[in-house]
Amino acid sequence: MKKTAFSLAAMAVLAAAAGAAQAQSNVTVYGLLDVGVDNTSNASPSKGSVSHVSSGGMNTSRWGIRGSEDLGGGLKAVFNLEGGILMDTGAADGALFKRQAYVGLEGSYGRLVLGRSFTTVYDFVLPFDPMGYAPYYSWATSANASGPSKYGMTTAFDNLVKYSGKAGDFKFGASYGFGEQATGAQDSAKFSSGVTYTAGPVSLLATYERVNGNSIVGGARDKTTSYHMGAMYSEGPWKVQAVARDYKLDPAAAGKADVRGTLYWGGVSYMTTPQVTLTGVIYYQDVKNVAANTDADPIMYVARVRYALSKRTDLYVAGAYAKAKHNQLVSLSRDDAGFDNTQRGVIAGIQHRF
């Protein structure tokens, strides 16, 4: 009898402790599962069309664990672990928590985290891309995958310290990735910053990123810089976005020309009903500092229809067409190369968030 009473008392204490812990902290398991069927032209050396089940039509599939603990006085600890999923095979998309793995603090001063996370530029530009960095089809992060066209931003930093805050109508942030090189603190170091200003339906964007390479003989190093300037108008069912990114690679080796590229995009989204959203976008890459008649200057036209079955589940159909000049290769994807100077694609899929 005494043993039973003791067991019941112990269970009651544990339950009370669990309730107190629950009141002070929270942990959430979440995910986004996106899979579709697509067909893409000029997707092989024979320039044939390829059809397959694809993971991530509107967004990259992922799962994660995030949480916070109330430390009192308006301060809380935060953490996030997030990894990618290949929905067509069930395999992990990279390392277990390659997307994000950080811990930090958040309070009235803003949010400061350490570990691995998306860069400040990535976070700030995302709302200004009508396609939301969709694998099918957006060039906002790094343009198309064919030829010398990866003129883009860095999506995430390892060894990162990242801050974000807000003051009135301004949101701002910065992130620094340590190079961790014995040759010097600046070798392989990375810096990313951004600011947005919102007044009513209008939002303005400005970002800056610099990524250093390793030193070579003489102390010189490669370095890349990129800038974004953008604007967005959002009112009722309408959303209009326009952004320009200038990218420059300064090579350390003597006699090599700078690599330059400016990407422009503009798009419109319109909600015809609370369930249906229509989106149209044009991406154009102006390639610079290349040999005569070798600049691809690719352009891509995109259209998408998104139908919300619920707050968590969407159906979508998207189509795109891309073309390059001077018989240069072009790809609709930022990851998969094309094999001709044009490419067409269409995808239909489903996305569920939990």
CA distances from 220 to 188, 212, 215, 336 (A): 12, 10, 5, 33
| pLDDT for the residue numbered 20 | 42
CATH number at residue 155: 2.40.160.10
Averaged pLDDT for residues 231-235: 98
Averaged pLDDT for residues 113-120: 98
Question: Hey, what amino acid is at 95?
Answer: A
Tell me the residue length of the chain.
354
Confidence of residue 111 (pLDDT cuts 50, 70, 90): very high
Residue 175 within any structural domain of the chain:
yes
Q: Report CA torsion sign: 198, 203, 204, 209.
A: positive
What is d(CA 257, CA 50) in angstroms, rounded to the nearest whole number? 37
Averaged pLDDT for residues 163-178: 98
What is d(CA 183, CA 13) in angstroms, rounded to the nearest whole number? 56
Tell me the percentage of the chain whose pLDDT exceeds 90. 77
Report the greatest alpha carbon distance in the chain: 93
Confidence of residue 219 (pLDDT cuts 50, 70, 90): confident
Residue 151 within any structural domain of the chain:
yes
| pLDDT for the residue numbered 220 | 81
Residue 132 within any structural domain of the chain:
yes
| pLDDT for the residue numbered 146 | 78
Residue 120 within any structural domain of the chain:
yes
Q: In the numeric block, which tokens belong to residue 136?
A: 């099918």
Using an 8 Å Cβ cutoff, are 263 and 153 in contact? no
Averaged pLDDT for residues 160-182: 96
Averaged pLDDT for residues 22-33: 87
| pLDDT for the residue numbered 11 | 42
Residue 75 within any structural domain of the chain:
yes
Q: Which residue has the tokens 């032209």?
A: 41
Number of neighbours of residue 165 by Cβ within 10 angstroms: 16
Residues in CB range of 246: below 8 A, 6 or more apart: 226, 227, 260, 261, 262
Residues in CB range of 141: below 8 A, 6 or more apart: 122, 133, 152, 153, 155, 334
- Kindly report, residue by residue over 258-309, the tens digit of the pLDDT: 788 999 999 999 999 999 999 999 999 998 888 888 889 999 999 999 999 9
Query: How many structural domains is the chain composed of?
Result: 1
CA dihedral (54, 59, 65, 68) in degrees, to 10, reads 180
pTM for this predicted structure: 0.90
Using an 8 Å Cβ cutoff, are 115 and 102 in contact? yes
Cis peptide before 137 (omega within 30 of 0): yes
| pLDDT for the residue numbered 208 | 98
Q: Is the pLDDT of residue 9 over 50?
A: no
Lowest average pLDDT, out of 33-37, 92-96, 332-336, goes to 332-336
Tell me the percentage of the chain whose pLDDT exceeds 70. 91
By C-alpha distance, which of 138, 108, 140 is closest to 124?
140
What is d(CA 286, CA 171) in angstroms, rounded to the nearest whole number? 30
Lowest average pLDDT, out of 65-79, 101-115, 139-153, 294-308, goes to 139-153
Q: Is the pLDDT of residue 256 over 90?
A: no
| pLDDT for the residue numbered 150 | 66
- Kindly report, residue by residue over 69-83, the tens digit of the pLDDT: 999 999 999 999 999
By C-alpha distance, which of 62, 139, 156, 152 is closest to 336?
139
At residue 121, φ and ψ (nearest 5 deg) are -60, -45
Residue 2 within any structural domain of the chain:
no
| pLDDT for the residue numbered 147 | 64
Mean pLDDT of the chain: 91
Using an 8 Å Cβ cutoff, are 241 and 149 in contact? no
Q: Is the pLDDT of residue 5 over 60?
A: no
Q: Which residue has the tokens 């798009």?
A: 267
| pLDDT for the residue numbered 19 | 46
Residue 320 within any structural domain of the chain:
yes
What is d(CA 307, CA 293) in angstroms, rounded to the nearest whole number? 43
Containing structural domain, residue 323: 25-353
Averaged pLDDT for residues 228-250: 96
Residues in CB range of 300: below 8 A, 6 or more apart: 137, 139, 144, 282, 283, 284, 320, 321, 322, 330, 332
What is d(CA 167, CA 109) in angstroms, rounded to the nearest whole number? 10
Residue 10 within any structural domain of the chain:
no
**CA triple 250-135-246, angle to 5 deg:** 25
